[in-house]
């Protein structure tokens, strides 16, 4: 059984072993694969693993030995699922590996706005504390989370993990999800109107694309904080920039961009009140090891004739 990894570098830049997957077949790992090389690299492989490399209908139809497509991630919109289904090829993802890591990262971003730790450390290194008259100083208002309201747009596994952390900080939590009458949830308009912090955890669909836009920002409190660790296109970047510049939005923190890597003309770049991190919420050592473990488990289940985590049944 030949196994080809098309773009393994992001999940495993060399600090995790491929050994358990190599034990399941003849393994060939590529750090990156250009679109024009995808089909030739798949070649006669029966199993293909991809993170961000597109697996189109054309590729599926022209890879005669292909029997299984595994995703080195949770999102699977890079694969033509219908084309795979027509050929009886299961597409399997890894649904839960980064839940705690992403929830933790949400609070890393939020706490940066609360205390501006990075900025104040930089000022100390510049001798501002050394030369300060008083025993302390701060350049920004310092914020407590106790009593604040956090609105979670989406309440899947990551949303639920984030909710637990918010409650541990003494925050009130409002949630909304695609099912309007879901227990414990409120309409989106209510969440936007009452939340001090809005955090995005919903999947990217045609319905949720630009769910944060000029109109929905207008519903929010003045001075709201917006956090996006979901997908970049959930936010209309131009509308968010306008709100950040005007002060309607106190701050935004995004770990994802509409186009990745982020292009130089992204309107959110260059703003003092917008934190941008390079899609790393998922990438803790522990999360990536769980990813590798689950990918191996998925392949074992497939080889045993009982595939799991199938997204195109």
Q: Is 206 an annotated catalytic residue?
A: no
Residues sharing a CB contact under 8 Å with residue 218, sequence separation 6 or more, in sequence order: 248
CB of 250 within 8 A of CB of 113? yes
Out of 193, 279, 297, 300, which one is annotated catalytic? Answer: 279
Q: Say if CB 110 and CB 253 are below 8 A apart.
A: yes
Determine the Cα–Cα distance for residues 94 and 310; give it in Å rounded to an integer: 9
> Is-contact 81 309, C-beta < 8 A?
no
Contacts of residue 23, Cβ cutoff 8 Å, sequence gap at least 6: none
The residues, any chain, with a CB within 8 Å of residue 90's CB and separated by 6 or more, are 68, 69, 84, 302, 307, 310, 312
In the residue annotation, 231 being an active-site residue is answered as yes
First to last CA, the chain: 23
Strand order in the sheet with 274-276: 172-176, 149-153, 197-200, 224-228, 249-254, 274-276
Q: How many Å is the Cα radius of gyration of the chain?
A: 22
Which candidate in 231, 241, 288, 290 is catalytic? 231
Nearest by Cα to 20 from 294, 301, 288, 286: 294
Please give the positions annotated as active site. 231, 260, 279
């Amino acid at each position: 059984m030949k196994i080809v990894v098309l773009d393994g570098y992001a999940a495993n830049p060399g600090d995790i072993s491929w050994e358990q997957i190599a034990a399941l077949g003849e393994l060939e790992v590529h750090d990156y694969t250009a679109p024009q090389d995808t089909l030739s690299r798949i070649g006669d492989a029966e199993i293909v693993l991809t993170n961000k490399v597109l697996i189109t209908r054309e590729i599926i139809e022209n890879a005669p030995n292909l029997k299984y497509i595994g995703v080195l991630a949770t999102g699977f919109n890079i694969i033509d699922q219908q084309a795979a289904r027509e050929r009886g090829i299961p597409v399997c993802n890894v649904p839960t590996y980064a839940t705690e890591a992403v929830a933790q990262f949400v609070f890393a971003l939020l706490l940066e706005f609360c205390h501006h730790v990075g900025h104040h450390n930089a000022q100390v290194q510049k001798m501002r504390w050394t030369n300060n008259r008083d025993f302390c100083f701060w350049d920004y208002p310092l914020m407590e989370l106790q009593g604040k309201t956090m609105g979670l747009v989406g309440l899947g596994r990551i949303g639920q993990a984030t909710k637990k952390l918010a409650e541990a900080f003494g925050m009130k939590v409002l949630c909304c999800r695609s099912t309007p009458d879901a227990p414990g949830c409120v309409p989106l308009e209510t969440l936007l109107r009452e939340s001090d912090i809005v955090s995005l955890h919903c999947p990217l669909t045609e319905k949720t694309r630009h769910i944060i836009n000029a109109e929905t920002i207008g519903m929010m409190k003045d001075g709201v904080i917006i956090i996006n660790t979901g997908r970049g296109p959930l936010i209309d970047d131009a509308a968010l920039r306008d709100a950040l510049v005007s002060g309607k939005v106190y701050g935004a923190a995004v770990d994802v961009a509409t186009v990745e890597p982020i292009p130089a003309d992204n309107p959110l770049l260059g703003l003092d009140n917008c934190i941008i991190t390079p899609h790393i919420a998922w990438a803790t050592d522990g999360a990536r090891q769980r990813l590798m473990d689950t990918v191996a488990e998925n392949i074992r289940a497939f080889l045993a004739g009982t595939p799991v985590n199938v997204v195109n049944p």
